[in-house]
Structure 1
Amino acid sequence: MALDEALLDWHSAGEIPPVIRFYEWGPATLSIGYFQQVHKDINLENVLKSQLGFVRRPTGGRAVLHDQELTYSVIVTESYPNMPQTVTEAYRVISEGILLGFQKLGLEAYFSVPETKQQLDDLKKPKSAVCFDAPSWYELVVEGKKVAGSAQTRQKGVILQHGAILLDLDEELLLSVFNFESDEAKERMRKKLPEKAVAMNQFVDTPFSMEQCVEAFSNGFKEALAIELVPYELTENQEQYVEQLMKTKYGTDEWNFKK
């Protein structure tokens, strides 16, 4: 999270071009949205018991268990050519690369668009703290089930969008890290989750490798945004900046438990 913020800062200052980044998490980590209330939504005892990492994201949205997944982030100025001004339409443009990536892997993915009043109401006031409980505007679904979740923030004239692309899903681990108002509510979520969320490897006999996914989604972004991707490495000073930001912000209780 510190690196994503640092990339946003450097891009805002004109020091680096737009960035597309792919990464994994070690250990598996629960990230919560910027506006979420930790003690209301999260079972911290089980987070510790399962030896998971825990961090608050700079972006909004609901909690995500980053486990068997590929995470992406896109850092680009709001004034980038043909970038829509509205958040939902910017999601659509940026997420086109993810959509094409799924299709390159042979999955029939498409964008979700809320169609009923109930779906629109759920977007405004989510029923649960679980990110993969329901798809929102222009998120990716396969066979009607959410397969990738994204979140966005805009700071210093720059858009930061990042998202989780599920390769596999441990439903019991996911359910264990949330608070529910009752055992009945947890059981309802247990039954509902397989109908709402799905992992990529559930559609294939041979599991996708991380390398396959990075290549497919990289090519998806190239094609969707008509761009070339050039490898980028941090300088020693940049690495020190990220390390300092991690120590003073994302590694602190003040940031992670502030709400």
Structure 2
Amino acid sequence: MKHYEFEVNYLQETWAFLDTGHHDAATNMAIDEALLQWHSEDKIPPTLRFYGWKKPSLTVGHFQNVNKSIEFSGIEKHGCDFVRRLTGGSAVLHDDELTYSIVVSERHPKIPHSVNKAYYILSQGLLEGYRSLGIEADFAIPERELFKDRSAVCFEQPAIYEMIVDGKKISGNAQTRKNGVLLQHGSIPMSFDSEMLFDLFKFSSERLRERQRNSFVKKAISINDITGNKHTYEMLKDAFLNGFTMSLHIQVEPLKLTNEDWQYIHFLAETKYKTDEWNYRKKKKAGSVSS
């Protein structure tokens, strides 16, 4: 990993940009954690990453009790990947979407100490990205409410820092802070598969599952639904890259990962994000190697 030296300048600062394309769920989460670690070690500058998913993938929040809420027979039925995130929040189905992540120091002059304010600043890039697609998005809660010291299915209800169109949620985001670094990542869906989504959660009856599924379409909406056009990963990448660079007043330079970097990412994926100990909170067997 190359060590970077960068100057913090509000108008001319250069961040790294990484487009890793489509990977399995464990690898995607390992890349985000590796970026967080490398930034904490001053090996890379603040970094914006875009990525996709090789297959439909359910990610659950760091503290989420999966035994109470997740229907694993549904995950098997649809051939989904399953992984626990570093970040909190509820479960998210990642499928036909662009996913972004940002790693930046908590001490960076652009990053407020308040969690809500930090979400607000970083999510301005989402707002600009949607608007560049002709979508008049806005924050779920007015700005005046954002700065006040706020179900298992993430997309059912918008959080205060997330985007809505006509009262319907259009993106989901999560955040954590570790080793002095803020990691925020989020889902930008082009379309939803509500049949698959609601097969992945436990309900007390099939009647309740269907009622919740029908309610979902009144609370969430995708880019394709709004515009009536089919979008691609590349189309969204261009729009939201422009959105983040404009809103954060940055320029970006490509970040190239070395073979050594990828070896570490794959090691992290195998020893952490693919393990039952991490994903299901199961106790390690005697004699097992700690990750």
- 3-state SS, counterpart of residue 181 of structure 1: coil
Q: Deviations over 1:75-100 (max 9, x none)?
A: 00111113110111100000000110
Aligned residues: 248
Among 136, 139, 145, the residue aligned to 2:159: 136
Name the CA distance, whole Å, in 2 between partners of 1:225 and 1:28. 31
Among 233, 243, 252, the residue aligned to 1:220: 243
Among 115, 135, 148, the residue aligned to 1:107: 135
Q: Which residue identity is paired with 1:163?
A: G
Check conservation: 1:23, 1:72, Cα contact below 8 A.
Answer: yes
Q: Deviations over 1:219-241 (max 9, x none)?
A: 00010000001111111111111
Is residue 257 of structure 2 the alignment partner of residue 229 of structure 1?
no
User: What is aligned with 2:101?
Assistant: 73
Which aligned pairs between 1:11-160 and structure 2 lie closer than 5 A?
Answer: 11-113=39-141, 128-160=151-183
- 3-state SS, counterpart of residue 247 of structure 1: helix
Q: Deviations over 1:152-185 (max 9, x none)?
A: 0000000000000010001110000000123343
User: What is aligned with 2:21?
Assistant: none
User: What is aligned with 1:245?
Assistant: 268
- 3-state SS, counterpart of residue 252 of structure 2: coil
The runs of 5 or more residues in structure 2 that have no matched partner are 1-28, 144-149, 283-291
Name the CA distance, whole Å, in 1 between partners of 2:68 and 2:173. 22
Q: Which residue identity is paired with 1:29?
A: S
What displacement does 1:62 show?
A: 0.5
Moved over 2 A (4+): 181-185
Which one has a larger percent helix, Structure 1 or Structure 2? 1
Aligned-residue identity in percent = 48
Q: Please say which structure displays the higher CA radius of gyration.
A: 2
The runs of 5 or more residues in structure 1 that have no matched partner are 116-123
Check conservation: 1:114, 1:136, Cα contact below 8 A.
Answer: no
